[in-house]
Amino acid sequence: MSERRGGALWGAALRRLRANRPACLALALLLGVALLALLAPLASPWAYDSLDWRHLAQPPALGAAHWFGTDRLGRDLFVRTLHGVRLSLLISVLASVLSVGIGLAWGTIAGFAGGRLDEWMMRFVDVLYSLPYLFLVIVLNTLVGRGSIAVLLLGVAAVGWLTTARIVRGQTLQLKRREFIEAARATGLPTRAILLRHIVPNLAGTVAVYATLTVPQMILFESFLSFLGLGVQEPHASLGNLINAGAQEMESAPWMLLVPAVFLVLLLVCLNLLGDGLRDALDPRES
């Protein structure tokens, strides 16, 4: 496949995205936070688990040893929060890729095959939908052991792909009836090639948008699990367990809740704005 595939469409989409101020601002902020999360722990003298006995439960102050303050054990909140952002972003992006990948494959196959196979595949999705996912994660946790990031990833992805599969199947059903798919069959393309060369590239816009909107959902879900104690475990930090720890000190040390909460809200708002911007930009009817 050539590099230029869809070039014109993506080019036009990029132009439209650039005209969308909030989305651009969100993208810049996101890149900034991600960069900070990658580099700042290196720049700071503190590690995410090093204790500073002289500064226990310090409130944030400019020019102080700990900008964002410390927790009860004297751990630097700035470093811990950025460490948490890094872990949350990593888990959510991986989980999004995984869930979108599974959902894409499942949805295209079901939609393109149609008939009985479609029926069975989608009923399976319905059954999984009706399972209490929290229960699923708890079972996985007890089986594999608490705090395993792989388990967390699987648990989060297992929930995410169901919606993707439904959306992709609907799109595939529409695409399948288009004349260019019939033209591909008349040319003599095998089914697999029709799927890979004609169906999937035409789904790319929808899927790209959905993936961007999945990441914040995943962050939220990961935080939720960690908040409940099912996710990332101490001494590792994620936005979820930081907020959990902060919530317990809400009255005596509110910064311990506020700092990770502000970062969480920032990430979520930025990702949602970007996703909305992408959706508008990739819709060719928006000229």
Nearer to other proteins, 63 or 188 (CB): 188
Query: What is the pattern of x (binds other proteins, CB under 8 A) and - over residues 228-267?
Result: ----------------------------------------
Stretch that binds other proteins, among 1-9, 21-29, 78-86, 207-215 (CB under 8 A): 1-9
For other proteins, the binding residue among 3, 8, 54, 132 (CB under 8 A) is: 8
Binding residue count for other proteins, defined by CB under 8 A: 25
- Integer Cα distance of 39 and 243 in angstroms: 22
Comparison of 11 and 32: residue with beta carbon closer to other proteins: 11
Where in 91-130 is the site for other proteins (CB under 8 A)? none
* Residues 149/90, Cβ–Cβ less than 8 Å: no
- The full DSSP string for 167-233 is HHHHHHHHHHTSHHHHHHHHHT--HHHHIIIIIHHHHHHHHHHHHHHHHHHHHHHHHHHHHTTSSS-
Take residue 167 and report the two structure tokens written for it.
Answer: 């959306």
70: left (phi over 0), alpha (psi -120 to 50) or beta: beta
Question: Shortest approach of other proteins to residue 20 CB, angstroms?
Answer: 16
Residues constituting the chain: 287
Bridge-partner residues for 70, per DSSP?
A: 76
* By CB under 8 A, residue 16 contacts other proteins: no
3 sits near other proteins (criterion: CB under 8 A): no
Please tell me the distance from the alpha carbon of residue 16 to that of residue 24, in angstroms, as a whole number: 11
Tally of CB atoms within 10 A around 6: 14
Residue choice 16, 80, 86, 198 for contact with other proteins (CB under 8 A)? 198
Tell me how far apart the 2 most distant CA atoms of the chain are, in Å.
77
Give the separation between CA 284 and CA 72, rounded to whole angstroms: 53
d(CA 106, CA 77): 42
Question: Please, what is the minimum distance in Å from the beta carbon of residue 15 to other proteins?
Answer: 10
Per CB under 8 A, 72 contacts other proteins: no
Nearest CB to other proteins, comparing residues 55 and 197: 197
Q: How far is the CB of 168 from other proteins (least distance, A)?
A: 16
**Cβ-count burial of 134 within 10 angstroms (0-12 exposed, 13-18 middle, 19+ buried)?**
middle
Q: For residues 210 and 263, which CB has a smaller minimum distance to other proteins in the complex?
A: 210
Site for other proteins in 156-195 (CB under 8 A): 178-180, 182-190, 193
Question: Is there binding between residue 287 and other proteins (CB under 8 A)?
Answer: yes
- Per CB under 8 A, residues contacting other proteins are 2, 4-6, 8-9, 178-180, 182-190, 193, 197-198, 201-202, 204, 287
